[in-house]
Amino acid sequence: MLMVRPFSHRVRIGIATVLATSLCLASSLAMAWESELDQLRQRWETATTSTPASQREGTLTTLADEAVQLVQANPNVSDLLVWQGIVQASLAREKGGLGALDDAKAARRALERAVTLDADGMQGSAYVTLGALYDRVPGWPVAFGDDEKAEQMFQKAMAIRPDGIDVNYYYAVYLADEGRKQEARSHAEKAANGAPRPDREASDQALQAEARTLLGSL
């Protein structure tokens, strides 16, 4: 019979050291992308809420490139993919017209991959942005715009975060465009009266101002 000798004390210490080192390295890598993502988020907030219009497209283009690089370095992190989608969707909105379609399509791909990795899509943020994209881009054969899919995305976001300012505002815009004014008013009021997220305070407050404007037109 083949006898397997147990690991020596020295070997056991070596294995434990390797495992500990690997765990520390993994933790450091995670902290690295989290720090970079936090900086990206803060710069996106500034770009979309207080950067002059003449500089906004250039700033968002730079942020989109950085988001893509972050995802390439960490391809299976849902939150990074969500933020790639958010930034690229913001860039598409800023560009407008047919020149924005490539950014809109890239945003959709990133967001769809994000929700395959995490069904909640960063607490519904992926579905909110997908809903806005399906609502705003042209339909077939030009692009992928689709009113039914837009509502499906908004409903998914509502199921996850029903009191979210962004969820309710963008859904209200969609409903207003569809002529469903009573429903639009209800969601716009929720957006206007909601509590801004601590990490998205500036952008949520900007959406609240837009929600109040929307209410005035309904």
> How many Å apart are CA 210 and CA 204, to the nearest integer?
10
Element (H, E) at 177: helix 165-177
Which pLDDT value is given to residue 178? 96
Instruction: State phi, psi for 64 to the nearest 5 degrees.
Output: -65, -45
Cβ atoms of 166 and 132 within 8 Å: the answer is no
Report the helix count and the strand count for the chain, using DSSP H and E.
9, 0
Query: What domains are defined for the chain?
Result: 33-146 (1.25.40), 162-217 (no CATH)
Closest CA to 177 of 206, 125, 214: 214
Which pLDDT value is given to residue 39? 94
Average pLDDT for consecutive 10-residue bins of the chain (218 residues)? 50 47 48 86 95 96 96 94 97 92 96 96 96 94 94 97 96 97 97 93 95 95
Which pLDDT value is given to residue 73? 93
- The C-alpha angle with vertex 37 and arms to 194 and 69, in degrees rounded to 5, equals 135
Instruction: State phi, psi for 139 to the nearest 5 degrees.
Output: -85, -175
Token code pair at residue 59:
């700033």
> How many Å apart are CA 41 and CA 124, to the nearest integer?
16
Quote the radius of gyration of the chain (alpha carbons, Å): 22
Helix (H, G, I), strand (E, B) or coil at 145: strand
Distance of CA 86 to the CA centre of its chain: 4
> How many Å apart are CA 83 and CA 41, to the nearest integer?
8
Say which DSSP state 180 is in: -
Which pLDDT value is given to residue 31? 60
Which pLDDT value is given to residue 98? 87
Does 141 sit behind a cis peptide bond, omega within 30 degrees of 0 on the bond before it? yes
pTM assigned to the model: 0.84
Which pLDDT value is given to residue 29? 52
